[in-house]
Structure 1
């Protein structure tokens, strides 16, 4: 994958050259002004400008100090974006302008199968001022840019050279941090403003060039929701943002990315249920069904990992005299085992990951993301419930989901130990997730009391999750034991592992009543 760096910069505009002087800036020991650079950058996007709509830019630039492919992704931090670099010549189709696969992977969830093609060309004359400390390190770079834009004629993206139309020309100044801190950025800004400059009205050169072609981003939620509908859509917006951010990490097979993406999917689906009084279920139920499908697709690999870890722990606890090769072989056959079976496990994991990526490249997944964005762009509010005050409505939703959980836990605890109780505790676990997630959503308006409630419910969810993981482990061991018996092998190790899982489950069931009494508090 390309090199990833955090880029912190501010943009300013004014007519003509800035009169900035660096003398006297704290920590700045030297100022250098290298020769001017000539930069030529071609920006890529879909026909519908999907990248622009998601505050993302992808360009191929020649000239200057960092020629190459540059992908810039938004972050939650002010003035900061994540920049992913790839060298020139790294794309197999670069002769025809196709971006590198590693960068296309980063934006797959945004592009959603649509081709990328040139949309804007910027030719820039850049004059730099470098601010250095007494060790010669660059603290910040001030770039005064004279920019001329050409616009590709609107059409379906294609690989051949587009037809260019002259666009706007302008000047702007960028200040980018290197080794310096935010205090230096503020000090430079103070001098630029005093010299007659102002913060740029455009978030990027690309946005400036596009002008009235610019596609506005999906509006984000208010910091503090005022209505019940805003509470619902704000939480859903957070989950969509998480899905889009985690998608490339899942494709790169980063540790824990699948789990976090699955949680975001479950949160979104749970929210559609919890806010069924504010959002029209005729619209949200089909979307909830697709979220369930995605959670299942993500869960196949995650469930395999969880089961493998649990079986490995049970195997490690056995008397060494019972851990023969036949037992290990049967565990390997399921793709589970000890570190000694690393190659087999890695192969299984690789196959599962490839299958997941195929799902993420499919039309069904892309349609789900389209559906979530469409819902947020035009929420199917049910009034007057959606217009109700956020605080009172959120509290009512949390109490309703908590009551549902209370009934499920009490029902399960009233049952004798056995399969029926196992099933009831699994149902309670699902209700615990729903109650926890609606409490999370309410934190934006209820503050600390909702946060404390969420923490209590997380403990219950984890306890019930431990019980369910043990149940699934026992379930997996039963057919393995049967196969061993049919082959004339000793069933003792399987019996020991099943017995241990039953002991752990009994411990959870013994702890649950006291844990529930602690968690069963009003919001």
Structure 2
């Protein structure tokens, strides 16, 4: 994918403030006051918002940039690329391709912000920018709503404890806890997905499919960016869980329909797996090499280099798969399955489904001994996961 111009880990704390709130005296220097306009875009059914993703075009002092924010290790990852009003530029558009899948992006909110603040220092070192944002949500040329909030955003070496210390000072001055949502989510309504009426068993299956589909598309952008290995890990887990759900719920589902979905999920898992496996192996080697003597570390460098090259090839193949029509078609089919899976009336009960998987686990466990092979233990582990997924 085309690399966005800028990537920033955004560690911040948001606070609500009462009317008339002003920042207290804080150690540091004032930030230059500024004004900017942010136009947020999303699909009609709010695909980005459902995945806790925001995409906006920000205009400040005549400069126009697009900013995409993704969940990242409990915080946010901001991707920024210059671009005009016609739509998000190439790098950002590729990052959200799996979420949007050809749906039109249109403005959903326009926020005008007046920002002032302080760069806070501790022991002479800059740790955070504390900004007071006075925000107007626009409805055409009319102001539909006004609100004010404080953001404490880490800079340079600022860490979470430093942000918490500053937040405590602000709370002592009247600032209030916040739910931490992006500004646009205050006014953005996410419409419920239309879902037909189902039997209790079928509804449980539908909801389980929906939950894993949501996890897949939520971690698709982070997997493409590649900065956080956890995004790929969670994407892969959701794919595996979904295959297991379709397998466990087999007696409730149209067999041809569920078999085709499972095969396509197997294909997807096959392109995600090599990258994730190498991530785990390289992390393990990094820790193991730290225990080696200097000469031994040098000798192992060639092995690490080969694995890094192998991972690069596997990642390239993965990104090619995620850009394919086959992958888009799979997501479309899973989205339809999350609304209306093809079920069979009166086939069995949920308790029977779980009992069947636990029976298979018990049978497999009876055959495992203290000296059983790694393959046998691995197979037992798979059976245990299937039983757990069926119980869920």
Alignment of 1:298-317 (within 5 A): 299=270
Superposed displacement of residue 38, structure 1: 0.8
Alignment of 1:29-428 (within 5 A): 30-63=27-60, 68-75=65-72, 77=74, 80-86=75-81, 88-89=82-83, 94=84, 96-135=85-124, 137-151=125-139, 166-178=143-155, 179-200=157-178, 203-210=181-188, 214-215=189-190, 239-240=212-213, 242-248=215-221, 251=224, 264-275=238-249, 280-282=252-254, 286-287=257-258, 289-296=260-267, 299=270, 354=320, 357-359=323-325, 362=328, 364-371=329-336, 373-374=338-339, 386=350, 396=355, 399-403=358-362, 405=364
Distance 1:436 1:382 in 2: 27
Structure 1 alignment gaps of length 5 or more: 24-29, 152-162, 219-227, 307-338, 414-425, 445-523
Distance 1:71 1:442 in 2: 36
Match of 2:291 in 1: none
Classify 1:264/1:53 alpha carbon distance in 2 versus 1 (closer, same or farther; 3 Å): closer
Distance 1:381 1:84 in 2: 47
Match of 1:507 in 2: none
Distance 1:170 1:199 in 2: 15
Match of 1:495 in 2: none
Superposed displacement of residue 105, structure 1: 1.8
Classify 1:13/1:258 alpha carbon distance in 2 versus 1 (closer, same or farther; 3 Å): closer
Give the TM-score taking structure 2 as reference length.
Answer: 0.68
Deviations 1:85-123 (A, max 9, x none): 22x23xxxx3x4210121122222221220212222111
Superposed displacement of residue 398, structure 1: 5.5
Q: Describe the SS at the equivalent of 1:366.
A: helix
Deviations 1:357-391 (A, max 9, x none): 223563x2231341354379xx99999955x7xxx
Give the TM-score taking structure 1 as reference length.
Answer: 0.53
Classify 1:10/1:443 alpha carbon distance in 2 versus 1 (closer, same or farther; 3 Å): farther
More strand by share: 2
More helix by share: 1
Distance 1:406 1:114 in 2: 48
Superposed displacement of residue 291, structure 1: 3.6
Superposed displacement of residue 166, structure 1: 4.2
Q: Describe the SS at the equivalent of 2:69.
A: strand
Classify 1:196/1:285 alpha carbon distance in 2 versus 1 (closer, same or farther; 3 Å): farther
Report 1 or 2 for greater relative contact order, CA contacts < 8 Å, sequence distance ≥ 6.
Answer: 2
CA contact (8 A) 2:34 2:116 kept: yes
Distance 2:345 2:180 in 1: 32
Classify 1:264/1:288 alpha carbon distance in 2 versus 1 (closer, same or farther; 3 Å): farther
Superposed displacement of residue 131, structure 1: 0.7
Distance 1:429 1:371 in 2: 36
Distance 1:12 1:146 in 2: 13
The worse-fitting range, judged by mean Cα deviation, of 12-21 and 42-51 is: 12-21
Distance 2:324 2:389 in 1: 32
Match of 1:437 in 2: 385
CA contact (8 A) 2:70 2:77 kept: yes
Classify 1:268/1:206 alpha carbon distance in 2 versus 1 (closer, same or farther; 3 Å): same
Distance 1:139 1:217 in 2: 41
Larger radius of gyration: 1
Distance 1:186 1:258 in 2: 30
Classify 1:206/1:437 alpha carbon distance in 2 versus 1 (closer, same or farther; 3 Å): same
RMSD between superposed Cα atoms in Å: 4.9
Match of 2:303 in 1: none
Superposed displacement of residue 127, structure 1: 0.7
Distance 1:150 1:37 in 2: 18
Distance 1:81 1:5 in 2: 8
Distance 1:434 1:216 in 2: 37
Structure 2 alignment gaps of length 5 or more: 194-200, 278-305
Superposed displacement of residue 40, structure 1: 1.4
Aligned length: 345
